[in-house]
Amino acid sequence: MPHEFDDVYPSSEEDTNSIQAPEVQAPEKPKRQRERGSGNQYRAFTCKTRIQCDMVNAESVQARIELLEEHLRTRLNHTRPAAVNACAVLVNSSDFSGPPATFFVPMTVYIQTKNTTSIPLDAWLGCKCEPVRGGLCGNKDFDDDMAKPAPWMVLNVHNTLKLNNAGRAAKKVLAR
């Protein structure tokens, strides 16, 4: 009884040798390790940048502060990475005093996140974010910035910054 594929694939000795003889094996490819990023994930980041803000319509310093806060919220919140828990900006209000105009306001941004790398934060803010090991509280730069006098102010762009272990321990000591 003829097989239904006999006429399509004729059996001959030439056919078996045309692709590759069974004793010749293809060279084995070396196994490549899976490439990963650095894998360094942190929960606190900081960066220094400046933002252009149009304050032509604001006459008083308080109106300019409110305008800057609104500008930061509208500019940063709609593209905020999901890992961001809180974001605060430290600005010097004397940088935008004077006649109404368009100002470039220098600012220091402090960010608390879920475990993440700096890559999505860099893309979000448009500047290089540096990780803060151990969290923000207890970090010398953060503590110095939060203790700065009057012209300096903290604007909470998203939620408020929470205390880490070092901050909670310091608060407990002060409460005694």
Question: Would the pTM of this model clear 0.75, i.e. be above it?
Answer: no
Structural domain contains residue 145: yes
Q: What is the pLDDT of residues 27-76, one digit of tens each?
A: 777 777 766 656 688 999 999 998 888 877 778 878 888 888 888 888 88
The contacts of residue 69 (CB under 8 Å, 6+ apart) are 155, 157
Tell me how far apart the alpha carbons of residues 42 and 118 are, in angstroms, rounded to a whole number: 8
Q: Is residue 174 part of a domain?
A: no
Query: Which of helix, strand or coil describes residue 119?
Result: helix
Determine contact, residues 29/95, Cβ cutoff 8 Å.
Answer: no
Residue 91 near residue 105 (C-beta atoms within 8 A) = yes
Residue 167 lies in a domain: no
Handedness of CA 77, 78, 80, 81 (dihedral sign): positive
For residue 154, tell me if it sits in a domain. Answer: yes
Domain membership flag for residue 6: no
Residue 4, pLDDT above cutoff 70? no
Q: How many CB atoms lie within 10 A of CB 42?
A: 19
Q: Is residue 168 part of a domain?
A: no
pLDDT in tens, 151-160: 898 988 888 8
Q: pLDDT digits over 79-117, tens only? A: 899 999 999 999 988 877 777 778 888 999 999 999 999
Per the structure, the count of domains in the chain is 1
Does residue 170 lie in a domain region?
no
Give me the domain span that covers residue 151: 42-161
**What's the rounded mean pLDDT across residues 119-129?**
92
Q: Is residue 35 part of a domain?
A: no
CATH, residue 105: 3.40.1310
At 17, is the pLDDT very low, low, confident or very high (cuts 50, 70, 90)?
very low
CA angle 171, 152, 102 (to 5 degrees): 145
Residue 164: the pLDDT is 84
Distance CA 61, CA 98 (A): 9
Helix, strand, or coil (residue 44):
strand
